[in-house]
Every structure is written in C-alpha cells, then in structure tokens.
Chains A and B, each alone.
Chain A
C-alpha cells in the first residue's frame, strides 16, 4: 500500500466516523421534539407551509398544543394521531411508509436502483473494443474543411 492510499482510507474512515457519531440515535430535548413534530404538520391556513415554519396564529396554537402534549408525555405517534383525527391525513406533510401512499417512498428508490443497475451493466461492458477507429489528424482536417464548406 502506498502512503497516498493510506491517507485516502484514513480520511474516508474519519468522515465515516464523524457521520456515524452525529447519526447516533438521540432522544432529543422536548423543544427538539416539538420542532420535529410541528415540521411534519401542515398549517391549515397556509399554502403548504408547515406548522413549524408558519408565522400564523393557527400554527402558533398548534405548536402550543404540540408542546403541551409533549410535556404530558404523549408519544409522537399519539400527538400526530390527535391532529389526524381532526383534520384527516391531509394534515401530515409526509405520508407514512406503511400506507397505500408508501408508494411515494418506493418509486424514487426503485428508480435509483433500476437506473444504477442499468448504468452499471453498461459501464461494465468491455470497454476496449476498437469499435470506431479514432480519426487521424489528416482525416480530421479534411472533415473540418468539409464542414466549413457546407456551412457556407
């Protein structure tokens, strides 16, 4: 192994560790939970904004209700369910994976997997085939003359 390879591997490892460290499961403070839940609720009086982002009065009372429910010790699912009871599934900005609408999660994934497989299979095709010989300089010059004359 060359020194360069060691350096590259060590750097990849360092980035991986940093990402893993920040991705570790954390319980989060109550305020973070309120933010997270409010970001998934749609503000009823806005145009597609979340309760978290909207400055409206309605969003304010919804945030307050979420904060109270968090303080009461309800789970995220229970709090979401309470809003779904009043407003229907419409209130959730992100459809659950395990629902008929879970399709919206699967399609992008399927597109990437399928596309990457296709691209990979093409990229693995023998690359060394001398399919079309690269034109020589003389040929290229002739070609350019032809092109130039046609353009006139």
Chain B
C-alpha cells in the first residue's frame, strides 16, 4: 500500500465520518438524544484519528521522497534535508489545507468531549456547525480542488522532484510561523460555532461567552505570536532588513487579530455589565469570516503577494464558503437582534466600558482600513480598469495615528472604574503616568528622535508602562497589608488570584515593547552600501565592518556564496557571513543576510552583489537597526501574558468568609 492509498483512503473515510457526525450532532440537539450525541463524540475522535493518519502519510511521502505524488514531486527533492522535507507539509496549498483540516478536527474533538459536558445543548449545536466546517475542508482535500494525494501517471514520475520554494527552505522558522498562524486561524471557529449555536437556539444568556473565553484567548494569542514569528521570518530570510511590508497576506493575518483584540476587550463589558451583546457576536463572526477571507486571498492568487500560490480551483470554493459564513452569521444575527438588545446603558465617557467602546471603534476602523487598502486595487480595476497600488505609505499614514490613539486608550482604560470616574480618581490614577509620559517625550528628544510620531510613541509608551507598574505596586502593597505577604510572594499571588487582569497587564507591556521597537527601528535605522575589495572595510554608526573575502560553499541541495565580514566597534566582536544562495529550482539567487542581534541594535548585513568570476569585489549593504530584537521579545511577552491570563482561577474553599463573597462572584 502506498502513502497515497493510505492518505486518500483516510481522508475519504474521515469525510464520511464528518458527515455522519454532522447528522448525529444535529439530531442529538434537535431530539435531545443522548445516544446520537455519544455517537457524534466517537465519530469526532475517529475523524481526528483519520485526518492525523492522512497528515502523517503526507509527511511520510515527503521524507521518503515519493515522487509519484504531484505534491511531493513539486515540493520536494532528493537533496532536501529531512527537516525541510517534513515541514514541507505546509509548503504549498494542498498540504496547508491538510494541516488546517487536522487542527480543525482537533477543535471538533475538544468541543465534542469537553464542551458538550458543560453546556450540553448549546455545545451540541456548535458541534454540528464544526462538523459542517470539517466536512467542507475534507471535501476540498478529497476533490481536485486541493487533493494532496493526486498521483502522477507511472510514466511521468520524475527521478527527482522540484524541491520546496527556495524561500521556504532557507530558514528553520518556517517550521513555526505557519502552524502557529493556522492554529490561531482555526481556533477562531470555536467561538464562531458557539455564537451561531446561541443564535440558532435563541440563547439569551452569556454562557457561551465564558465557555469559549479560553478558545478566543488562545486563538488571539496564537495569531499574535504567529504574526510576530512571521515578521521575524521575513526579517531573517527576505534580506531587505524589514519585517513588515503590508503585504496582502500579512494584512490577511492582522485583520482577524485586530477584531479579536477588540472582542477580548468588549467581551468584558458584556460579562460585567451585560451590554454590547449584538456587537460581540458581530465581532466573533467578523473575526472568523476574516480568517476565511485571509485564506481565500492567500490561496486563490487574486492578489500579488510573496505568499500567494498559483491559481487553483480552490478559489471559488473558498469564496462560496466565505459568503455562506457571512450570510449565515449576519442573517442569524439580524434575525435575533431584537432579543439581544441591551437592557442598560454604558457609563459616562470616562468609564472603563466607554473606553472599551472607543477602543473597539478604533480597532474596527483599523481593520476596515487594512481591508479596504488590500482590496481597493481589486475594486478599482474591476470598476474602472485602472491599475494602482496601495502599500506601506498609505497603511502607515492611517494606521500609525490609530495605533497611537489605541496606545493612549490602553493607558486610560484599565485605570478607570466601571460606570464612571470622579475627579479624585482621575488625579489618583494619572499623576505618576503623566509625569512618565513627559519623561518619555524628553528621552525621545534627547536621543535625537525626529518626527512627531516616534516622540509621541515614546511618551505614550512611558505613560502605559507607568500605569501598569502602578497597578502592580498597588496590588502588591494591598496584599502585603491585607495578608501580610512578602513582596515577591504577593506579586506571584496577584497572578494566581486574578490571572486574567494581571496577565492582561503583562500583555500590555509586551505590546508596548513591540511598539517601541517598531517606532525606534523605523525611525532610526542607518544604512550604508559599499563595494569593497577583500581587505577593505567600512564604518557604519560606530561599527567597523572589515571584508575578508568571498567563499563558495557547495551543499547537495544548494550553492552558496558568502562574504566573510569581521565586525568590531560599539563593543561588538562578531563574524558575519551574509550570502547569496542559489537553489536549482529558482532562477535568481536569494539573499541570506548575516545578522548580529543585540539588545540595543541589530547589525544586518546583506551581500548585494559580487564578482562571480574572480571574487575581486563584493557590494555589501549594512543596516544598523536599533531595538528590533525588542519586537520579538515583545511578541514572546504577549504570549506569556496570554498564558497567565488563561491560568485557571484558584479553587475557592466552600466556607467563604463574608468579605470574600463579592470576590467570589468576580466583582472587584
């Protein structure tokens, strides 16, 4: 039996199971039939197992170089190293969809086993919705649209394959960035399925919100970390010294992250004040729909992007899926709108819920801007035939002010009480942060920042940091007085007692780090390009870069020419080897930058051109990029903060002292 037989067979069986699961879950919800539910649970596990087998079969085919499969012949070569062979599962369209399907099957299992126990009826409907999605993706991989197991005719099987896309086999980060993003994308389908279930059942409580809180948080965090990992990948691989280009596919990833961020905040208004219910469901639907739109843009080839694959039959199917989701979600929401109307009102403009509302407006506007900017060239060409571009200058000009306004609100919101704030509260909360903001602006000016945006960024970053530090200091102080704990254990106890709040603050600090890194690296990068002979040197921003010579490195899967550089100055002492890599399946060589990362600045070197005949000269481009490593660190801090926020609250002892009652129901 070949890999193709195993994989294709498993996928077909999984499709049958998914359809069965869909029917069983729908029947179980309709008739409240326990036996049907039990069978849906079993089917979920079975479908997951089968999809796992199919994924493993594909990995098996890749690592054993089974070129009888079109996918393997196109994305693998005999010389491809084992590691890159294995992760080529997501190097192209059909394999990516296979991975996507696996994650979705995992989500189905989670809802089937865990969800249906805590909220039986609601989760059963959600399970049916998820089974329907799973069936759709399985249908994609068993039909010609994205069949990863399509076979070549016996006389067409090549002796060697084409190898993976050069850019995708040049850096180990390829193992991390796509799976993280896919996890984030797919997990948004859990809150969506619950929201649809709540709408179908006419559920008026917020239980589905609490039930899906962790899935929403996890998908948000994974998307965020995946986006940062992608930025790091493009920084380390694409060789232009940047990490974000507002590429359509980057935009596709950031849009659901923006709406998910809005949701994570506005959902607190619903939990605390039972307001904004329609709005929250709309955000859940929008987030999920945007992940599908992103997949559509990536996979159908309608936009020109580093990431887009060639046109395939999958485009119309994904478009149909996207429209179906919107019609279903928006239709149900409009149908139930009257039942979901708020029975209360938001507090004064200076209350926490009002700040969340303004924050939501800005996040949605930011999303709309990205969506419009990405699609506008398509719209313009469809309407008038005009070809135009929308790129970084447009997005920067619109998104930077929005981002700064959001940074400001990030400092304000958590400091305000619900309902409204008195003048005394405002003074108590904002005196120290205001001083910090002025200090931040001073630091920016003294360190020579030009332009209003970086200066304001520094001021606001200091402002937010001060509010967070103030919160921690007050929290620790309160615990020391109340419980007599020592400062370190009081600090840890803050996270254990209220991980969501204090984990949230850690997330905010991570975002501040990332924003400071972006502002500084954008504003203060210095660059120099020189053509050097071996033995020559160049000086950039205090670094001395000596060019020792060129070297050719032959590896089975590629040929590389590297420039040997010796770096001194600014306390650095490093050897860098930027190179140009030639893969047999790519016309032109791709750059492999040499990077000396530092906490203050990265030295980023590129071999731009060289003398191929005599190795007599090389053109070296050197960029000194300050604080850029803080961006990756900020991403890690955000992920860590999200983990803290997901910590389960401690089990309360059944005998509660009266003063703890308010605490126990979650009031502050």
Chain A interface (Cβ < 8 Å from any Cβ of B)? 2, 4-5, 7-8, 10-12, 14-15, 18-23, 39-40, 42, 47-50, 53-55, 57, 88-95, 100-101, 103-105, 107-108, 111-112, 115-116, 118-120, 122-127, 129, 131-132, 137, 140, 144, 151
14 pairs, CB–CB < 8 Å, chain A vs chain B: A15-B438, A19-B441, A19-B455, A23-B452, A49-B245, A91-B389, A100-B386, A101-B388, A108-B368, A111-B361, A115-B365, A119-B354, A129-B344, A137-B662
CB-contact partner of B398 in A54, A108, A116, under 8 A: A108
Taking CB atoms, residues of chain B closer than 8 Å to A20 are 452
CB distance from A147 to the nearest CB of B (A): 8
Chain A proximity mask over B216-237: 1 for CB below 8 Å, otherwise 0: 0000000000000000000000
Chain B interface (Cβ < 8 Å from any Cβ of A)? 117-119, 239-242, 245-248, 274, 304-306, 343-349, 351, 354, 357-358, 360-362, 364-365, 368-369, 372-373, 376, 380, 384, 386-394, 397-398, 402, 419-420, 423, 427-428, 430-431, 434-435, 437-438, 441-442, 444-445, 449-452, 454-456, 459, 591, 606, 608-609, 621, 661-662, 665
Q: Are B390 and A50 in contact (CB under 8 A)?
A: no
* Separation of A95 and B608 alpha carbons in the complex (Å): 31
Q: Are A126 and B345 in contact (CB under 8 A)?
A: yes
CB-contact partner of A151 in B118, B349, B365, B373, under 8 A: B118
A89-B388, A122-B357, A124-B349 given; A112·B362 CB < 8 A? yes
Q: Are B455 and A22 in contact (CB under 8 A)?
A: yes
Q: Are A11 and B240 in contact (CB under 8 A)?
A: no
CB distance from A49 to the nearest CB of B (A): 6
* Separation of A14 and B458 alpha carbons in the complex (Å): 13
Kindly list 12 other residue pairs between chains A and B, CB separation below 8 angstroms, not including A20-B452, A115-B360, A129-B344: A12-B437, A23-B452, A48-B391, A55-B239, A55-B608, A89-B389, A92-B388, A92-B389, A93-B391, A122-B346, A125-B346, A126-B345
Q: Are A111 and B393 in contact (CB under 8 A)?
A: no
* Separation of A89 and B410 alpha carbons in the complex (Å): 38
Q: Are A50 and B451 in contact (CB under 8 A)?
A: no
Q: Are A12 and B398 in contact (CB under 8 A)?
A: no
Taking CB atoms, residues of chain A closer than 8 Å to B118 are 151
> A13's closest neighbor in chain B, by CB?
B438
* Separation of A91 and B365 alpha carbons in the complex (Å): 26
CB distance from B568 to the nearest CB of A (A): 25
Taking CB atoms, residues of chain B closer than 8 Å to A90 are 387-389
Q: Are A48 and B459 in contact (CB under 8 A)?
A: no
- Chain A contact residues, majority secondary structure: helix
CB distance from A95 to the nearest CB of B (A): 6
CB distance from B164 to the nearest CB of A (A): 18
Q: Are B361 and A54 in contact (CB under 8 A)?
A: no
> A152's closest neighbor in chain B, by CB?
B117
* Separation of A103 and B398 alpha carbons in the complex (Å): 13
Taking CB atoms, residues of chain B closer than 8 Å to A101 are 376, 380, 388
A5-B427, A11-B434, A94-B390 given; A123·B346 CB < 8 A? yes
CB-contact partner of A131 in B345, B348, B392, B434, under 8 A: B345
* Separation of A139 and B431 alpha carbons in the complex (Å): 40
Taking CB atoms, residues of chain B closer than 8 Å to A21 are 445
Taking CB atoms, residues of chain A closer than 8 Å to B358 are 116, 119
Taking CB atoms, residues of chain B closer than 8 Å to A47 are 245, 247, 304-306
CB distance from A130 to the nearest CB of B (A): 10
Q: Are B387 and A89 in contact (CB under 8 A)?
A: yes
* Separation of A95 and B386 alpha carbons in the complex (Å): 12
CB distance from A150 to the nearest CB of B (A): 9
> A114's closest neighbor in chain B, by CB?
B361
* Separation of A15 and B466 alpha carbons in the complex (Å): 15
Taking CB atoms, residues of chain B closer than 8 Å to A23 are 451-452
Q: Are B452 and A15 in contact (CB under 8 A)?
A: no
> A122's closest neighbor in chain B, by CB?
B346
> A21's closest neighbor in chain B, by CB?
B445
A104-B373, A125-B346 given; A39·B392 CB < 8 A? yes
Taking CB atoms, residues of chain B closer than 8 Å to A7 are 431, 434-435
> B205's closest neighbor in chain A, by CB?
A147
* Separation of A92 and B386 alpha carbons in the complex (Å): 13
A7-B435, A47-B304, A101-B376 given; A111·B389 CB < 8 A? no
CB distance from B415 to the nearest CB of A (A): 12
CB-contact partner of B345 in A57, A91, A125, under 8 A: A125
* Separation of A137 and B438 alpha carbons in the complex (Å): 45
Taking CB atoms, residues of chain A closer than 8 Å to B427 are 2, 4-5, 8
Taking CB atoms, residues of chain A closer than 8 Å to B305 are 47-48
CB distance from A1 to the nearest CB of B (A): 10
Q: Are A93 and B434 in contact (CB under 8 A)?
A: no
* Separation of A49 and B392 alpha carbons in the complex (Å): 8
Q: Are B365 and A131 in contact (CB under 8 A)?
A: no
Q: Are A127 and B393 in contact (CB under 8 A)?
A: no
CB-contact partner of B349 in A4, A104, A120, under 8 A: A120
* Separation of A143 and B343 alpha carbons in the complex (Å): 20
* Separation of A68 and B241 alpha carbons in the complex (Å): 25
A94-B390, A125-B346, A132-B274 given; A107·B441 CB < 8 A? no
A4-B427, A55-B606 given; A22·B386 CB < 8 A? no
Q: Are A22 and B445 in contact (CB under 8 A)?
A: yes
* Separation of A131 and B369 alpha carbons in the complex (Å): 37
> A108's closest neighbor in chain B, by CB?
B369
CB distance from B218 to the nearest CB of A (A): 22
